[in-house]
Structure 1
Amino acid sequence: MTDARALGPVEGSRRIGGLLEQALAFAKRDTNVVIATVVIANLLRAVSTVLLTRLLVPEAFGIAGIIGIIAFIMAMMSDLGFQAFVVRHADGDRQEFRDVVWTIRLGRSVVLTLLMMALAEPLALAAGKPEIGPAIAVSALMFLIDGCSALTVITALRERLLLRLSTVETLAAIVQLAVAVVLAFAWQSYWAIVIAPLIGGLAKSVLSYLCFNDARRRFRFDTRYALELWNFARFVIGSSIISMLLTQCDKIILARLFTLDMLGYYMLATNLALAPLAFTTAYSSRVLYPNLARAWRENPGELQSVFYGSRRRISCLYMLAAGGLAGTAQLVIAILYDDRYADAATFLQLLAISPLLALSSGSANEALTASGRVHVTFHANIAKLLWLGLAGPAALLVFGPIGLVAAVGSMEAPALFYSWWQLWRADLLRVTEELAYLAVGGAGILLGLALEAALLPYL
């Protein structure tokens, strides 16, 4: 017998304790934390949608969408890249440095809050919904709440406290969901999904102080650090503005070209295709970048080894899964929706190309940013914008709207090629390994197509 009873109480307890320690260590691995966090966040989002759509009228979600677009545009146009700046900076552990960054961050939030409040009525009129002006003004408080949070939501990445940070964010999301459901049930009004994010943000802000040591900051300003931040952020701001254009221009154009039904299929396919990007963004910024920044600070010569060694397994698994999504597009649509939505499969198949390439492209940009080449992400976004500006109209003229969709789905390719070129210039590129990842993605597509051919006739 080899179980705990045969080993006796002492040895059995030690063995159980050892297994628990191994399980806890496994759970604390950064990559596993990111995967779990993304899964939980998607589940909470699904539960929220199911509950709130039964308590509120559709117009409520339209109002929330307008507010979300306004807030997103303002945030992206003023993005200073605080997270990447703090994680990478040599003085990132100094109290004075953190005080300065926290002060600048709070100042930005105050300006955004006041600006959004001042523009609330004009923006509501521009949207043709003057009655939502007060809701826009109230939602502006989210910027202030976020600015008042502890800098620990950023420094936790530098200190490898990803599990604790993810726990804080998950708890805040649960609070927001609970508040939204309770208020929607009580008020039967769109104000429920206006107030709930503010309460969720407030919960995150409070937890950012309670759950981390050395969270309190003081007002401080240092011209040297401020100039360093600006020199760092000037590329970030441009990149964020371009990202905003990249995520919105296709919807604006296709809204004019498609019927409402076709536009609905496209939006549905877009949401499904972009789901993997929640992982690529979190993994690249929260797991990979802190490791690369530390390697650059401590031993720059090891950056290439750390870059490929730390992402090899996860890249292969991701490429296989992302390729599988592209290969099983028709099957996914058939399982999730009825026959009315079958046309969404073509859109999904084309749009799934972008997330297939996103992890390789994003990982390369994080490595180059860690090595001080902050401009690369900005230039990679310019490459995507140029692709859409040139290939998009040409494909639209030759193939119609579906050609524009194909251009949108493939816009990550020029960014990836540019990132490879920059990796090569920095002596960080391993061509064979990058091509191997693409081969795994191709295998995922083929496996997906085979699975689709086998199962689709039975649906």
Structure 2
Amino acid sequence: MPTSSLLDAAPPAQLQRIRRFREIALRDTNVVIVSVVLGNLLRAFSSVVLTRLLVPEVFGIAGVIASIVFAFGMISDLGFQAFVVRHPDGEKPRFLDTIWTMAVLRSIVLTCAVFILSPTIAGLFGKPELTPLIEMASLIFVLEGVASLTLLTALRHRMVLRLSLLELTVMVFQISLSFILAYYWRNYWAILASMLTGSAIKSLLSYLFFPNSLRKPAFDRQYIGELWGFARFVTGSSIISLLLMQSDKFALGRLMSLDDFGFYILAGNLATAPLGFTTAYASRVLFPAYSQAWRDGEENLRALFYAKRRLPSLFYSFAVGGLIGSAPLVIEILYDPRYAASAIYLQILAIAPLFALASNSGNETLTATGHIKVTFQASVAKLLWFCAAGPAGYAIGGVLGLVIAVGLMEIPAVLLKWVQMHRLQFLDLRQELFFLAIGGAGIIVGTIGDRVVQPFL
């Protein structure tokens, strides 16, 4: 019997409960939470398997490649997603065709630039043997750049479930391929090949998962001008963020052996796992909601701001605090004894994600209401912090001191955004401090759990 017939035959009270459960399950926030949890579980499973198939050096090389791709992506960041979601003409074909054309051109330029500069880039890292890998990795830009613009318009239309399913499908395929290639090849080409294939599959599915996905080349001077007016703040902020987020990897990539750098990269990957939620929740739930409220002339954005993020913030803060406290236990459970040195890096680097939800949520609220400069200003605040704390930390504590400076880098950005939100009457400082207190409780519980469980392992 078809599902619809079974539902129709159900008693009214049971039918109402089923519909209520379905409504709750399909809420944007819950979809994001489930997809991020599944994504992190998949990444953790992938990490556990690959660390048993590959040597630590491979993860150091993968970290270098990822840093290069991220660096060039940030340098050329034009803020397509926020621009499309927020723009009043976001439904018009001419607008979408123009933005898609700009995205494709950007990707072609990036691929050519990275390919040509690959020997120089490898030399900057002091590892010229990586030149062929960097050349091959340049294809990631064009493979992702030709994707359908529906990956952006899906957020405007609140198609969070479909977008999450697409990304999980790609992740499962990419991880499965990496296992197969790692088993047979036993080297870094397995990681790179799976990354390239995953990018290609994502672009293909972007046309198959969504209606009206095809676009055609177009150049509208008005829209291009508006994009640049919007992007100049985003690009400036992205360049500064690049300096902040990659300078530690560049420095440590030169100072550490590939084995030690692999430990750092593994810890960084685990520490950034919570950021998957902050990024997805802020961009896919909060930003579209705030943008719609702003377009509709909603007056009490402060109430909307905290109503949307209160419960997720409580659970998130406690979970990240727990990660900080239990980091040695997490490393021991996931990896063999060779990777024990990653634990201290994980504890330090996970401090930034503790503040990230407050930072990203505040940023999306301010951006949605037209205060775009705050993204750039927050990046400047982090740069000033790093310029002062980074050298001081390294002088006092060496590599570990530099890592501590990186772990605390989100704090000045949060403080700046709170000042801006207070000026606009968006801030409830009591709630923000309560969220952080819950994070502190998570640290205590995680530490206790580590002390209790460790003797039995």
TM-score, with structure 2 as normaliser = 0.88
Q: What is the CA distance between 1:40 and its match in structure 2?
A: 2.4
Q: Find the counterpart in structure 2 of residue 314 from structure 1.
A: 312
In the alignment, structure 2 segments of 5+ residues that lack a partner are 1-5
Deviation per CA, 1:158-180, whole angstroms, max 9, x where unpaired?
A: 10001001111122222323444
Please name the residue that 1:366 is paired with. Answer: 364
**Partner Cα separation in structure 2 for residue 342 and residue 54 of structure 1:** 14
Partner of 2:102: 104
- Superposition deviation, residue 338 in structure 1: 6.5
For CA contacts below 8 A with separation 6 or more, give which structure has more relative contact order.
Answer: 2
**Partner residue of 1:163?**
161
Whether the aligned pair in 1 keeps the contact of 2:320 and 2:353 (CA below 8 Å) is yes
Deviation of the 1:182 alpha carbon: 4.3
Distance in 2, matches of 1:404 and 1:43, equals 29
Q: State whether structure 2 residue 219 is matched by structure 1 residue 221.
A: yes
Residue type at the aligned position of 2:209: C
- 2:150 is matched with which residue: 146, 149, 152? 152
The equivalent residue for 2:3 is: none
SS state at 1:224 partner: helix
- What is the deviation of 1:428? 1.1
Q: Distance in 2 between matches of 1:338 and 1:216?
A: 47
Return closer, same or farther for 1:253/1:52 CA change in 2, 3 Å cut-off: closer
Alpha-carbon distance, 1:38 to partner: 1.8
1:237-386 equivalent positions in 2, closer than 5 A: 237-254=235-252, 266-336=264-334, 344-386=342-384
Looking at structure 2, the residues matched to 116 and 370 of structure 1 have their Cα atoms a distance apart, in angstroms, of 33
| Counterpart residue number, 1:387 | 385
For residue 24 of structure 2, what is the amino acid of its counterpart?
F
RMSD: 3.1
Amino acid at match of 1:210: L
| CA–CA separation in structure 2 for the residues paired with 1:318 and 1:229 | 34
**1:173-200 residue CA offsets vs partner (Å, 9 max, x unmatched):** 2232344444555666654433333332
**Identical amino acids, percent of aligned pairs:** 51
How many pairs does the alignment contain?
452
Q: 1:247-290 deviations in whole A, cap 9, x for unaligned?
A: 22234445666688876654444333322112111111111111
- Unmatched 5+ stretches in structure 1: 1-7
- Once residues 50 and 311 of structure 2 are traced to their aligned partners in structure 1, the CA distance between those partners, rounded to angstroms, is 39
Shift of 1:101: 0.8
The partner residue of 1:87 within 85, 88, 96 is 85
Q: Which residue of 2 is the match for residue 199 of structure 1?
A: 197
Whether contact under 8 Å (1:395, 1:407) holds in the other structure is yes
Take 2:52 and 2:333, find their aligned partners in 1: how far apart are those partners?
A: 23
Aligned runs of 1:2-151 on 2, under 5 Å?
12=10, 17-52=15-50, 61=59, 63-124=61-122, 133-151=131-149
Cα separation, partners in 2 of 1:65 and 1:393, compared to 1, 3 Å: closer
Please state how far the C-alpha of 1:18 moved relative to its aligned partner: 4.1
Q: Quickly say closer, same or farther: Cα 1:423–1:110, change in 2 above 3 A.
A: same
Q: Is the 8 A contact 1:273 1:351 kept in 2?
A: yes
- Equivalent-residue separation in structure 2 for 1:62 and 1:255 (angstroms): 8
Indicate how the Cα distance of structure 1 residues 196 and 458 shifts in structure 2: closer, same or farther if over 3 A, else same. Answer: closer
Paired letter, 1:160: R
Q: SS of the counterpart of 1:276?
A: helix
Q: Is the 8 A contact 2:63 2:265 kept in 1?
A: no
Corresponding residue SS for 1:293: helix
CA distance in 1, matches of 2:191, 2:438: 42
Say whether the 8 Å CA contact 2:107–2:145 is kept in structure 1.
Answer: yes
Greater Cα shift, 57-66 or 314-323: 57-66
SS at match of 1:218: coil
**Displacement after TM superposition at 1:87 (Å):** 0.8
Confirm or deny: 8 A CA contact 1:295 1:302 kept in the other structure.
no
Cα distance in structure 1, aligned partners of 2:351 and 2:311: 20
CA distance in 2, matches of 1:164, 1:57: 36
Are the aligned partners of 2:57 and 2:262 in contact in 1 as well (CA < 8 Å)?
Answer: no
Q: 1: CA distance between counterparts of 2:31 and 2:433?
A: 28
Partner of 2:442: 444
Q: 1:214 to 1:342 in 2, by over 3 A?
A: closer
SS of the residue 2:299 aligns to:
helix
3-state SS, counterpart of residue 102 of structure 1: helix
Larger radius of gyration: 1
Whether 1:426 and 2:432 are equivalent positions in the alignment is no
Match of 1:3 in 2: none
**In the superposition, relative to structure 1, how do residues 60 and 412 fare at CA in structure 2: closer, same or farther (>3 Å)?**
closer
Counterpart-to-counterpart distance in 1, 2:114 and 2:73: 11
Tell me how far apart the structure 1 counterparts of residues 174 and 79 of structure 2 sit (CA, whole Å): 26
**1:69 partner letter:** S
Deviation at 1:133, TM superposition (A): 4.1
1:48-102 Cα shifts (integer Å, max 9, x gaps): 4455556666665555444333222111110101001111111112222111111
**1:209 paired to 2:207:** yes
Mark the CA change 1:255 to 1:125 in structure 2 (over 3 Å): closer, same or farther. Answer: closer
CA contact (8 A) 2:63 2:262 kept: no
| Corresponding letter in the other structure for 1:118 | I
Identify if the C-alpha distance between structure 1 residues 254 and 125 changes in structure 2 by more than 3 Å, giving closer, same or farther.
Answer: closer
Amino acid at match of 2:101: T
Q: CA deviation at 1:381?
A: 1.5
1:129 is displaced (CA, Å) by: 5.7
Do the aligned residues in 2 keep the contact of 1:113 with 1:140 (CA within 8 Å)?
yes
TM-score relative to the length of structure 1 = 0.87
SS of aligned partner of 2:404: helix
Instruction: Quote the Cα distance in structure 2 between the aligned partners of 1:10 and 1:292.
Output: 37
